[in-house]
Amino acid sequence: MENQNNIVIIGGGFAGVELAERLLDSGTDAHVILIDKNNYNFFPPLLYQVATGFLDVSNISYPFRKHFSSKKGFSFIMGSLEEIMPDGKKIILNCGDVFYSKLIIATGTVTNYFGNVNIMDNALPMKTITDAINLKNKILERLEKASRTSDAELRAKLTTFVIAGGGPTGVEIAGMLSELRKNILFRDYPELKNIAFDIYLIDGLPTVLAPMSKESQKYAQQSLEKSGVIVKLGQVVKDYADGVVHLADGTSIASENLIWTAGVTAQTFEGIPEDCYGKGNRLAVDSFSQVIGINDIYAIGDTCIMTSDPAFPNGHPQLAQVAIQQAELLAKNLVAQEKKKDKKPFIYKDKGSMAIIKRNRAVADLPGPFKHFSGFFAWLIWIFVHLMSLINVRNKITTFFNWLNSYITRDQPLRMIIDPSKK
């Protein structure tokens, strides 16, 4: 595409979709091009429910072309970014070249294995739709295998789950697996009635949900432990080989299931100088989200680090709300620049954070006089916020009815092994 008046957005997550929508609704003269390696948007906070068979993929994903079908001045390209050429204002994709007037990088993060090849090759990540489907298949395949083996040691390894990472994703997976064990496992697999089905949650920090309040951390840990989850804090997974999880203190856990939620990192891009990156490979940007030192290239969301916000001198937390707010302001600033008006610097408005633990149990840290909630009320807040955050009405309705069915029946009939790699 050789039209020079292209606003090109790389990445169709929270930040990319929000920016595209805001620009298209603003009446900008530019042509908006969204590029993503998938042809759909998905909702990462609910990936763990797909992975544990409580939601279908279609509940949390939606095609870009369908979502933007009524918008004029929009194009979608399914492709992967290979190189950026700032001097020629061109990007090279695996499917062709695109010229831009403004380039916005909103690629989010990828799983960080901290250089451990064994963990990268053998652990089960939880970052994409493919990861979630693969994790669900692996869980079900291993339960099937455990149900028919007479080898007690193998059965124990197949039914022991180790979750590395005590952030929201790790806590939510641990809680959902405990629900699976309590309400579904022994009904579906009567052959496994006498097994332990151990669930471990491991984190190198001294607490779970480290970014949240002490009240939320304490409540989450106590709730998990009451559900039978074995919480091991101040421990780091050092290696994983031959079905054994090795911890830094020299102890080990025999398990065929290491679920990796222990870290993320931003991506680097050919054509962007090394000195443009900050901690965690995040692109260093100014208060207007422009990559420092490069004209007309911007970065928003998890892939950037902004230190100009007085309340966040070390950069903002990698949360959906940061990405959405940055996208909203960048759209306004790009339109203002087009109209030769003043731009506004980004100031993050913290709307709080929350995490679900299990049925009727969640934690929420919110701004205002009543800062901390836990239990059933926090669970209702979590349900409402996540429903409203889904990309369209269809996804909101189908997810709501799936949750309602699951709540009433304490079950969900989505435990099918569907693996396209098998013939």
Model confidence at 3: pLDDT above 60: no
Q: pTM for the complete prediction?
A: 0.93
More confident residue, 80 or 369: 80
119-129: pLDDT as tens digits: 999 999 999 99
298-343: pLDDT as tens digits: 999 999 999 999 999 999 999 999 999 999 999 999 999 998 999 9
List the alpha helices (DSSP H) in 181-279. 186-188, 214-226
Helix (H, G, I), strand (E, B) or coil at 244: strand
CB 177 within 8 A of CB 161: yes
For the chain, how many residues are written? 423
pLDDT in the model for residue 127? 94
27-60: pLDDT as tens digits: 888 999 999 999 999 999 999 999 998 899 999 9
Angle at 75 between CA 73 and CA 81, to 5 degrees: 135
Mean pLDDT across the stretch 269-292?
97
CB 232 within 8 A of CB 164: no
Phi then psi for residue 127, to 5 deg, are -125, -25
205-241: pLDDT as tens digits: 999 999 899 999 999 999 999 999 999 999 999 999 9
Mean pLDDT across the stretch 366-391?
90
Model confidence at 368: pLDDT above 80: no
User: Which CATH homologous superfamily contains domain 6-111+265-338?
Assistant: FAD/NAD(P)-binding domain (3.50.50.60)
Mean pLDDT of the chain: 94
52-61: pLDDT as tens digits: 988 999 999 9
DSSP state of 184: I
Domain ranges, ordered by start, for the chain:
6-111+265-338, 114-261
- Tell me the CA end-to-end span of the chain in Å, nearest whole number: 39
pLDDT-based confidence at 157, cuts 50/70/90? very high
71-112: pLDDT as tens digits: 999 999 999 999 999 999 999 999 999 999 999 999 999 999
CATH number belonging to domain 114-261: 3.50.50.100
Active site includes 21? Answer: no
CB count within 10 Å of CB 416 equals 10
Mean pLDDT across the stretch 364-368?
88
Token reading at 99? 């010229």
Mean pLDDT across the stretch 387-398?
92
Mean pLDDT across the stretch 158-182?
95
pLDDT in the model for residue 148? 95
Catalytic option among 172, 179, 191, 256? 172
Percent of the chain clearing pLDDT 90 (strictly above): 87
Q: One-letter amino acid identity for 266?
A: A
Residue 11 neighbours by CB under 8 Å, 6+ apart: 35, 36, 105, 106, 107, 108, 301, 303
pLDDT in the model for residue 85? 97
Do the domains 114-261 and 6-111+265-338 match in fold?
A: yes
**Residue whose tokens read 């939620």:** 261
